[in-house]
Chain A
Amino acid sequence: MPVGDLAPELAVLLTAVAALLLAMALPQRRHGWCAALAAAGLAVAMGIAWSQAGAARLTFSGTFALDGATTWARLAIPGLTILCVGMSPRWFSTDRRHGEFYAMLLFSALGAMAMAGAADLMQLVMGILLSSVTGYVLAAYHRDWEISLEAGMKYFLVGALANALLVIGVVLVMGMAGSTDYATLAGAIPGDPLTVTGLALILMGLFFKLGAVPVHTWVPDVAEGAPVPAAAFLTVIPKLAGAVALYRLVALAPGIAALPILVALVSAATMTLGNLSALWQEDVRRLIGWSSVSQTGYALMAVAVAGAVPEALPALLAFMTVYGIANILAFAAVAQLRGLTDIEGYRGLIRSQPLAAIALALAFMSFVGIPPIAGFLGKFALFLATLEAGLAWLAVVAVANTVLSLFYYLRVIGPAVFAADTDPAARLGGTVLGSLWAALIVLLLTTVLWAAGWAALPAGLLP
């Protein structure tokens, strides 16, 4: 078997095991070493993925696609996970055991990478389950804080339902179409009601990972209750992988018109619900959670036009990249403020903590799509793809939502900049600053490097 084809995934797996063993051997105050190990392992995975970037073939008996989208996921997922790792050591410094946290983080990232590359329904289930099961643990990692446990429990309950539906869906599709292999399924999925139901159920499993309606309810709770590094991870990494997996699946069945319509409707519902719920949120972490729901809604616009226009896949990947960077930047700012939740606490932040305030403002402006911040270019690509495919109504819904979203982002940014009273907020510092600066610089650089990145994004998928 061509083991080398999975070298990036293996690197993450081995690092996870090594981190687990190291955490067992090290005394508690040295658990920060596990973070360094995890970051190094992820960087190695990125390096290997970069060296394999040109590949375009199915591997492991057709269960894993080595193509442009997989390469993108293999770079984006470990890259952004490193930033989450960077937020962790200080955050968990009072935790008795946090070495295992990095192992969990790596296993979860591995699940996401497996999900993104899956070219077989069974492989997809494996990826989703690995990513989910570890996700529950990450969300509830503050073991003696009720809100964190509640977040983990909610995540688990919604996840259990969605994953059960996913497996039923896979069984239905396998039974009706006679295969789980994407290469066999491509264009050959029958359009009978049972198969379409099966596909819809699989989509439900992916919507859960993406935090889309109707299985989005875990997102605000996780954003609020999970440890901030875990919240940053869970609102970004599974979404990146889920977006690619969803796109692969929708692109498999170009003949079934119901799928794009379903995705378009879910897209409109998700962005609208996410924005409306964020509108009067008093808890900034929940607000970011709801905003990330609405961002999923935008991303689904590209999936709804999958295969119809050449810009669809690049638009999806570009948008998700920028979303991931900006969301991690926002959470890094929150982590730097020691997880400050109350919106009142952000008043006058520009004077007491200019760096965190500017980072938060840039991340939010990127979510809105204020040019020339990269978020604008991502949204522009989405609009371009949607309008070219003729889904103008969806673009108009997205416009209305963008205007709506500006309101609640400004509810945080406005007082942070305008208010005169300065309530000196606590700060975390340490490697959190490293993550914050890295995300900030990468976000700004993305605008400059957009042309090269856009040209490098794949227009099509395997098989």
Chain B
Amino acid sequence: MLTLAVLVPLAAALLLALAPLGAAAARWTATGSAVLSLLALVSVWAGGGEGFRAVTEVPWIPTLGIAWRVGVDGMSLALALMSALLFAASAAWPMQLEGARAYYAWMAFLTGVSIGLFVTLDLIVFYVFFDLSLVGMYFLIGRWGHGEAQHAALKFFVYTLAGSLLILIGIIVLALNMPELTFDMRAIIDSPPLAAAGALPGLVFLAFVIGFGIKTPVFPFHTWLPPAHVDAPGPASAILAGVLLKMGTYGLIRIPLQMMPETFARWALPLAILGVISILWGSIVAFAQENLKRRIAYTSVNHMGYTVLGIAVAGSALGSETARQLALTGAVVEMVAHGLITGALFLIAGAIWARAEDYHLPNFGGLAGTAPRLTGAATLAAFASLGLPGLAGFVAELHIFLGAFGVYPWLAAIGLLGILITAALFLRMLRQAFFGDLPYERRGFTDLTTAEAAILALLLALVVLIGIWPAWLLALIDAAAVIPAIGAGG
């Protein structure tokens, strides 16, 4: 079933690449494949189970211990579900495009690749999907972006390839240190190699942190992110922020945290500090941006900082087990929530670009009068992003900080400042764009179309649902199932 969730979008991509479909048909093919994928994942979810479930294994290179292995636990299933939903929303998002068929082909390709990354249980297949996500995004940004799109795409590709190759080195060293060469995640999680102290585990850990840190992105490896976001088309930004960034934090949990828990515990404090720096740096720099998309992009650095802080706390082997579980739950909820919220925000930014071809905030104002639906959606998404109680962001940040106060109280206190700044910057953004006087050249600004409004409503309804009734998501994530692996080692 999981294999199907990966192959259907990839097959759709192939179909789109070869068959001469029109723009509308292409859009529905890409959307349909993402929806089918989502349905397959939902059926796995409905099947229930503990630990890794829906496991399938097909040999690929047996002599090297590489195979097509798929299976999900609560964390990866939650992320895969969120990704499939966001891909369906982004593919369905109405766009005026030149070369629409190729655009939707890359979109479907990225859908398959991203879901594949979350559901695979083989490190080499994981790496394959990790790299392919770069290829897909490179072509999406470079071809359909605006402004300095080619330059931004190049920077994105080169920067993140550097990270992914470090990950590859780390993966190989991990596998070589197993009693028998294997890239099976379950085997490595069950008996983590490189447990001893020493330079080698530290270096491997460093390779993983830099590699995943670039993708996440964590300060100081975040500089590729703003140009990539600003110049990408709206839905591609939504995918980049909503799904691709999660690959970094997911990898951080799955590989260093679960596969080298002792080393992780030794280095948890520096990682937590890095997370807090990202929180503050992201929010302060975001505050200074006048470009709408740059501002949202930097809030991603801020939000991923919360996630990294949560992950570091979870792997610290300090404090109570409850605190660490809370932090990990928070980190995963933050990933899901950030995917939905920032996905919505970037789609809104795309809607604004489609109408005004401008992101410069001082050129806007008073849109509330001409575009009430857009204003409503943007306000709700902004409030969710700044962590208003009753919305998804709050649930995530509450868990992370509850956990962090139990382990690193000082860091948590400093990190709280980030929430304050984020609140300020989002309120200022809302005021600049939507309230005040309507500039003359924005008279013709139209409101969201029904299709756009429906897509945003779907995403934001989930944000509200997670905010007021998070129990189902928390039960799905089941952080306790991830934590014992750490407890056993630490």
Does B91 sit within 8 A of A, measured CB to CB?
A: no
Q: Give the chain B neighbours of A455 by CB distance below 8 A.
A: 63
| A contact residues, total (Cβ < 8 Å) | 30
Across the two chains, which residue of chain B brings its CB closest to A415?
B150
A380 and B172 CA atoms in complex are apart in Å by 9
Q: Are B169 and A406 in contact (CB under 8 A)?
A: no
Q: Give the chain A neighbours of B138 by CB distance below 8 A.
A: 410
In B159-184, the 8 Å CB interface with A consists of 161-162, 165-166, 168-169, 172-173, 176
Does A417 sit within 8 A of B, measured CB to CB?
A: yes
Of the stretches A111-119, A262-270, A394-402, the one at the interface is: A394-402
Q: Are A451 and B63 in contact (CB under 8 A)?
A: yes
In A358-412, the 8 Å CB interface with B consists of 365, 368, 370-372, 376-377, 380, 383-384, 387-388, 392, 395-396, 399-400, 402-403, 406-407, 410
Band of interface residues on B: 20 to 34
Query: Separation in Å of the A272 CB from the closest CB of chain B?
Result: 15
In B234-275, the 8 Å CB interface with A consists of none
Query: Separation in Å of the B177 CB from the closest CB of chain A?
Result: 10
Does B139 sit within 8 A of A, measured CB to CB?
A: yes
Q: Are B128 and A371 in contact (CB under 8 A)?
A: yes
Does A345 sit within 8 A of B, measured CB to CB?
A: no
Q: Summarize A's interface: helix, strand, loop or mixed.
A: helix
Q: Are B161 and A403 in contact (CB under 8 A)?
A: yes
Q: Are A414 and B161 in contact (CB under 8 A)?
A: no
Q: Mark B194-224, 1 if CB is under 8 A from A, else 0.
A: 0000000001000000000000000000000
A384 and B178 CA atoms in complex are apart in Å by 13
Q: Are A403 and B165 in contact (CB under 8 A)?
A: yes
Q: Summarize B's interface: helix, strand, loop or mixed.
A: helix
Does B62 sit within 8 A of A, measured CB to CB?
A: yes
Q: Are A450 and B61 in contact (CB under 8 A)?
A: yes
A396 and B63 CA atoms in complex are apart in Å by 25
Considering residues B132, B143, B150, B168, which has the most beta carbons from chain A within 10 angstroms of its beta carbon? Answer: B168
Q: Are A388 and B142 in contact (CB under 8 A)?
A: no
Q: Give the chain A neighbours of B128 by CB distance below 8 A.
A: 371-372, 376
Query: Separation in Å of the B147 CB from the closest CB of chain A?
Result: 13
Q: Are B172 and A418 in contact (CB under 8 A)?
A: no
Q: Are A451 and B169 in contact (CB under 8 A)?
A: no
A371-B132, A450-B61, A455-B63 are contacts. A383–B161 as well, Cβ < 8 Å?
no
Does A454 sit within 8 A of B, measured CB to CB?
A: yes
Q: Give the chain B neighbours of A387 by CB distance below 8 A.
A: 169, 172-173, 176
Query: Separation in Å of the B167 CB from the closest CB of chain A?
Result: 10
A387-B172, A402-B165 are contacts. A414–B158 as well, Cβ < 8 Å?
no
A370-B131, A383-B169, A417-B143 are contacts. A406–B61 as well, Cβ < 8 Å?
no
Q: Mark A408-426, 1 if CB is under 8 A from B, else 0.
A: 0010001101100000000
* Residue among B59, B157, B168 making CB contact with A383, cutoff 8 Å: B168
Q: Mark A449-463, 1 if CB is under 8 A from B, else 0.
A: 011001100000000
Q: Give the chain B neighbours of A400 by CB distance below 8 A.
A: 162
Q: Mark B131-146, 1 if CB is under 8 A from A, else 0.
A: 1100100110011000
Q: Are A414 and B172 in contact (CB under 8 A)?
A: no
Q: Are A407 and B158 in contact (CB under 8 A)?
A: yes
Across the two chains, which residue of chain B brings its CB closest to A395?
B169
In A92-147, the 8 Å CB interface with B consists of none
Q: Are B168 and A451 in contact (CB under 8 A)?
A: no
Across the two chains, which residue of chain B brings its CB closest to A455?
B63
A402-B161, A451-B62 are contacts. A396–B169 as well, Cβ < 8 Å?
yes
A392 and B172 CA atoms in complex are apart in Å by 11
Q: Are A380 and B158 in contact (CB under 8 A)?
A: no
Does B153 sit within 8 A of A, measured CB to CB?
A: yes
Does B154 sit within 8 A of A, measured CB to CB?
A: yes
Q: Mark B27-64, 1 if CB is under 8 A from A, else 0.
A: 00000000000000000000000000000000111111
Q: Can you name 11 A-B residue pairings with CB atoms under 8 Å?
A: A384-B176, A387-B169, A387-B176, A400-B162, A402-B161, A410-B138, A410-B158, A418-B142, A451-B60, A451-B63, A454-B64
Closest 5 CB pairs of A and B: A371-B128, A451-B61, A399-B165, A403-B162, A418-B142
Identify 10 new A-B residue pairs, CB closer than 8 A, beyond the known A395-B169, A399-B168, A403-B162.
A383-B172, A387-B172, A387-B176, A396-B169, A400-B162, A402-B161, A406-B161, A410-B138, A451-B60, A454-B64
